[in-house]
Amino acid sequence: MRPANLSLPRHDWTLPEVEALFDLPFMELVFQAASVHRAGFDPSEVQLSQLLSVKTGGCAENCGYCSQSAHFKTGLKAEKLMAADDVVAKAKAARDGGAQRFCMGAAWRELKDRDLPKLTEMIGEVKALGLETCATLGMLTADQAKALKAAGLDYYNHNLDTGPDYYKDVVTTRTYQERLDTLAHVRDAGMSTCCGGIVGMGEQRRDRAGLLHQLATLPAHPDSLPINGLVPVSGTPLGDRILADGDKQIDSIEFVRTIAVARIVCPRSMVRLSAGREGMSRELQAQCFMAGANSIFVGGKLLTTPLPGMDEDSKLFQDLDLRPMGQPMSLAG
């Protein structure tokens, strides 16, 4: 395996090379990842993002982890798309609380043209607050991607979820290629991509390597790369399976390995600790930052799953001598 390039991203990683990174001695892997991180970022800076569910529940997809799928009985009530004024008020509160990026998520299989005017208004007003804007709205057409870009959308999130070999065990209502096609529309429109996956769904290490291999061989690496730890939800197929057989969830050391490999193969991406952070110890989060994670979601909730409170994050940042990206002061302000 060729040594990790600390300056320029590679797009020719092979799956065996990515698997070999996972197999490195833990200390060596984290050292390599930290070296790559320091070559491109200030290791004391972490980006803060906040995510709001602007349309909750009733999704036509059958993603086996998702509380918002209409296929499963999770007790979540489907809601209509929020009014733009309400979203902007939430975005302003997020900005005032220290968030640098505001993400808007809708539980749709794909964006419908009829919803575009309301969304473009929403995006434009959030952008005017001085925040980076991000949205996750399901599959897009090329024209829809262009319209979102014109409205001021900076980032579009569309996760691959897992490696291609395990994908059929997670969702059957959308193909892997359809996910890749949406990412291509986003790139072609000139927007930045936010794309990662979920670990702890019962997959094997090879599947985690397969996910990162897919991301590392895209025409452009994701600008943001979220790594989600599965939060098992009762009523979902994967959640029920994990709750009944907890040993299938990924352990902490393997989670850090995943963060480290993500940092090495996508050296310029913002590697984000996303869902599942509320259940992580402070020590595990610190290890993830050491291994190259440099972005988190804040605000107490990630769509429908919990996150640590701002006071907890402030204390963690203080104890680790971390600061919000681009700001000289502490998270506590």
Q: Give the residue numbers annotated as catalytic, written as ranges.
A: 59, 63, 66, 103, 134, 194, 272
Cβ proximity of 290 and 62 under 8 Å: no
Instruction: Work out the angle at residue 19's Cα, subtended by the Cα atoms of residues 271 and 168, and round it to the nearest 5 degrees.
Output: 80
Cβ proximity of 81 and 55 under 8 Å: yes
**In this structure, which amino acid lies at residue 49?**
S
Question: What values do phi and psi take at 67, rounded to 5?
Answer: -70, -15
3 state DSSP class of 130: coil
Cβ proximity of 188 and 166 under 8 Å: no
Question: What values do phi and psi take at 115, rounded to 5?
Answer: -90, -5
Other beta carbons within 10 angstroms of residue 35's beta carbon come to 15
Torsion of CA 246, 250, 253, 259, to 10 degrees: -150
Separation between Cα atoms, residue 192 and residue 187, nearest integer Å: 7
Separation between Cα atoms, residue 51 and residue 72, nearest integer Å: 23
Mutual orientation of helices 282-290 and 310-320 as an angle, nearest 10°?
50
Burial class, 4, CB count within 10 angstroms (exposed 0-12 / middle 13-18 / buried 19+) = middle
Q: Which residues contact 35 (CB under 8 A, 6 or more apart)?
A: 4, 6
C-alpha distances in angstroms, 62 versus 8, 70, 122, 138, 174? 38, 8, 28, 13, 9
Cβ proximity of 280 and 256 under 8 Å: no
Question: What values do phi and psi take at 198, rounded to 5?
Answer: -125, 135
